[in-house]
Structure 1
Amino acid sequence: MRHVEPLRHSIRLSMLTILLAGVGLAAVASERTSEIRLPDSARFPESVTSVSDGTLFVSSIADGGVLKITGDGEVATSFLKSGDHGTRSTFGVLADEKRGTLWVASNDATAIGAKGPTTTEGGWVKAFDLATGALTQSIRLPGEKALANDFVLDAQGALYVTNTFAPQILRLRPGAAEFEIFVEDEALKKGLDGIAFGLDGNLYVNTFLGGELFRIEVKDGTAGPIKKLETTRPLKFPDALRTFKDGFLMVEGSGALSRVTVAGAVARIEPIREFAGPTGLTVAGDRIWVAEGQLGRLSPLAKGGGAAPSFHLRSIPVD
């Protein structure tokens, strides 16, 4: 754990230097539902996920909780109220519709300027029933310092989570009560963030601070060699990573939503659109939804610097 304190310091500084473009529970949607303004109770969204009817679920670093938005973008309600079940700042959210579960990452994010609604320490992963919102599982990440960031599921229903405060990818097998370390390697020490399985069955992750993209070979449920991929352009604060068609979609805190295709040791990065500090994405039907987290405004705002910006989900058509 000797990398934790330097990493926390680096994360804090990096959040301050990102350059970004740019009540109640009623979400405001445009005519074409290509834009949804989030309520003031859901500031600094970190992640967004969706189910087959287009319903969206959005987390919040500043305020915690999880917002649920109907597929037409007209109604927003609290799926998880701020601070409920000991949750704090919420990060990754992932809907597992097959098993009726919403996975939620909850963390002490004080290191990046977000105190959150409670004083719960550490990094946690919590499972909720998609239909009722009932808490079904609550598991703390191992280690004194941990931050549960993003999720992916394998074909057997095992959950994988990136630990941003340690070079670890953790796995929770179906029915298990504790995480196991799936991968731990110094190559991944620069702030693990986005995670996704490729069509080749291997695991792909990026590092927020390092601007890196890695492939981890997976065979019969066991991790193999780790390969840092060459990218066709530098990455700036890469965040959410999602499987899409023959490759991936990825957002970067500096603004870009891009297509990512991998051939051998090279990842081709093709920008699609720019957003205001994007942090999360999901594909819902024929649209790609992006959460504009604007994390570069987080620490200055916490210190009383400037007015709070508005926060949005924005979407573009799937090509």
Structure 2
Amino acid sequence: MALTALALAACAQEDAQTGDQPAIETITLEGERLFPESITSDADGIIYAGSNRGAIYRIEPGSATGSVWIAPDAQNGLLSVFGVLADDTRGWLWVCSNPAMGEDGSSAVKTFALADGSLVASHPFPADAGPVLCNDMAVAGNGDLYATDTIGGRIFKLAAGGEALDYWAADPEFGGIDGIAFAESGALYVNSVQRHTLMQVGVEDNGLFDTVTVLETSQPMEGPDGLRPLGGNRFLQTEGPGGKVTVVTIDGTAAQIDVIAQGIDYPSSATAVNGRAWYPVGKITYLFDPALREQDPGPFTIESTPIPEAE
């Protein structure tokens, strides 16, 4: 699963120049038993995080506290929120909404206005698709949206300007597919939280699915998740079960994995803001471990760590 903060570099730089209060490095989310899964940020350094309870948080640069920005209601139909992705070009926040265990409803990709949080559209998965777990999303240069389905091992596509999500690709290597992101070149990459792999997904000139290439990683990965582009062929990636945040640098069919933070209680996504990686501490074991399920996980936070510059 892809459980996965905020931007303050502009503030950090200003603080260093003016001698004001130090930059924020930790954000506390208001509420209980949130279990945040995914995180994203927009061009202004505003961070957005989803939660298992369906609430979406918005954190302004410089704030050490995150409060609910969009609450689930009958109008927006938000269920448990997995992937969130800011789309500055269209001024939207893309959201993966899924029914929690035992909850009624169906999975959908929803869009909300970054300006005010109002619902723009809701795109359900095809009725004949069977069980779906919409985990994460990526937007291509032409505006097409690609969404991963972890349960079905599939990728669905919403054409730019379209209304309906359509089946796009499936492959045995997609079992447990999770994070998805485009490189600056337009190459498409995905990872599998269950198979512990990182893959390049071939796209034909006509936009159809081509082939899958499993990359050779410099070290084993434990539940890779939350793939986010850093520019060029570099990505942020988290390893929820492994408790790590890493920088991935891809060269052909090889991927260099560099750990930049570890010992984290299930980080499932990360976002880059002004040179720092922000990631939610998901504490997912409190949802699934019988020994912890009834215990109080305490407050939920979004932490950060510096991102090394590319060599």
Q: TM-score range by the shorter chain?
A: 0.7 to 0.9
Does structure 1 residue 169 correspond to structure 2 residue 169? no
* CA distance, structure 2, for counterparts of residue 47 and residue 301 of structure 1: 24
- State the secondary structure of the residue aligned to 1:298: helix
Return the match for 2:274 from 263, 285, 289.
Answer: 285
Q: Counterparts of 2:140 and 2:276 in 1: how far apart (Å)?
A: 24
For these two proteins, the number of residue pairs brought into alignment is 283
Distance apart, 1:182 and its partner CA: 2.0
SS of match in other structure, 2:295 = coil
Q: Which residue of 2 aligns with 1:147?
A: 133
Does 1:103 pair with 2:94?
Answer: yes
- Corresponding residue SS for 2:304: strand
- Residue among 164, 186, 210 paired with 2:195: 210
Aligned counterpart, 1:4: none
> Which residue of 2 is the match for residue 229 of structure 1?
215
Aligned partner of 2:169: which letter? V
Where do 1:1-319 residues align within 5 Å? Answer: 31-41=22-32, 43-61=34-52, 63-74=53-64, 76-84=66-74, 85-110=76-101, 119-142=103-126, 143-189=129-175, 191-220=176-205, 221-245=207-231, 246-253=233-240, 254-274=242-262, 275-300=264-289, 304-319=293-308
Question: Which is worse superposed, 33-42 or 139-148?
Answer: 33-42
Q: CA deviation at 1:285?
A: 2.2
Go from structure 1 to structure 2 and tell me whether the alpha carbon gap of 1:231 and 1:263 turns closer, same or farther (over 3 Å shift). same
TM-score normalised by length of structure 1: 0.83
- Structure having the higher helix fraction is 1
Contact 1:150 1:162 in 2 (8 A): yes
Structure 1 distance, partners of 2:35, 2:285, is 10
Helix, strand or coil: the match of 1:177? Answer: coil
SS of the residue corresponding to residue 289 of structure 2 reads: helix
Q: CA deviation at 1:185?
A: 1.4
Q: State which drifts further: 119-128 or 97-106.
A: 119-128
TM-score (norm 2): 0.85
Aligned amino acid, residue 296 of structure 2: A
Q: Deviations over 1:247-293 (max 9, x none)?
A: 21110012111111222322111111112211111112232211111
Q: What is the match of residue 27 of structure 1?
A: none
CA deviation string 1:144-201 (max 9, x = no partner): 2101110110111111110011121111012211112221112212x11000112342
2: CA distance between counterparts of 1:256 and 1:215? Answer: 22
CA RMSD of aligned residues (A): 2.1
Give the conservation status (yes or no) of the 8 Å contact 1:160–1:169: yes
Distance 2:168 2:185 in 1: 18
Local SS of the residue matching 1:278: coil
- Aligned residue type for 2:170: E
- Partner secondary structure for residue 115 of structure 2: coil
Q: CA deviation at 1:41?
A: 4.4
Kept in 2, the 8 Å contact 1:107–1:124? The answer is yes
Partner Cα separation in structure 1 for residue 210 and residue 193 of structure 2: 22
User: Contact 1:205 / 1:214 at 8 angstroms: preserved in 2?
Assistant: yes
Give the Cα–Cα distance (whole angstroms) in 2 for the partners of residues 123 and 80 of structure 1. 18
State the distance in 2 between where 1:304 and 1:222 align: 43
Unaligned runs of 5+ in 2: 4-20
